[in-house]
């Protein structure tokens, strides 16, 4: 069964600190993996996208890693800001259909305190 599991479920950190969010998946055949940021009451916004051959990708203070062998990904946030408070969702796409089927994790709810 294709699944995406994220940990931790929630995380509280102080402003300025770093944190790392984890994602494990069993989706096959794998196409790509995305990390989305979803602010409360808003739609998800893409942060990074990685294909099978990529193992690191950065977007400002966000750095995502991918280990396609172990089917694990992480999202590292550097020097956190209050505006980083949101849900971070790991999304994996398979290449078994023309639709580009997406499998969503439940997200990690990050809260940054001043």
Q: Which residues bind other proteins (CB under 8 A)?
A: 4, 31, 34, 36, 41-46, 49, 89, 93, 98-100, 102, 104-107, 109
Residue 19 or 37: the one with the smaller Cβ distance to other proteins is 37
Closest CA to 64 of 53, 79, 48, 52: 48
Residue 18 or 58: the one with the smaller Cβ distance to other proteins is 58
Minimum separation from the CB atom of position 16 to other proteins (A): 27
Residue 57 or 76: the one with the smaller Cβ distance to other proteins is 57
Closest CA to 75 of 94, 93, 50, 103: 50
């Amino acid at each position: 069964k294709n699944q995406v599991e994220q940990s931790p479920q929630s995380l509280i950190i102080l402003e300025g600190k770093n944190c790392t969010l984890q994602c494990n998946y069993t989706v096959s055949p794998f196409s790509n993996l995305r990390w989305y940021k979803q602010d409360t009451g808003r739609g998800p916004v893409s942060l990074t996208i990685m294909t099978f051959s990529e193992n690191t990708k950065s977007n400002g203070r966000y750095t995502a890693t991918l280990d396609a062998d172990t089917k694990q990904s992480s999202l590292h946030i550097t020097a956190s800001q209050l505006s980083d408070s949101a849900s971070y969702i790991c999304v994996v796409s398979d290449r078994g259909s023309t639709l580009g089927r997406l499998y969503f994790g439940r997200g990690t709810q990050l809260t940054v305190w001043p």
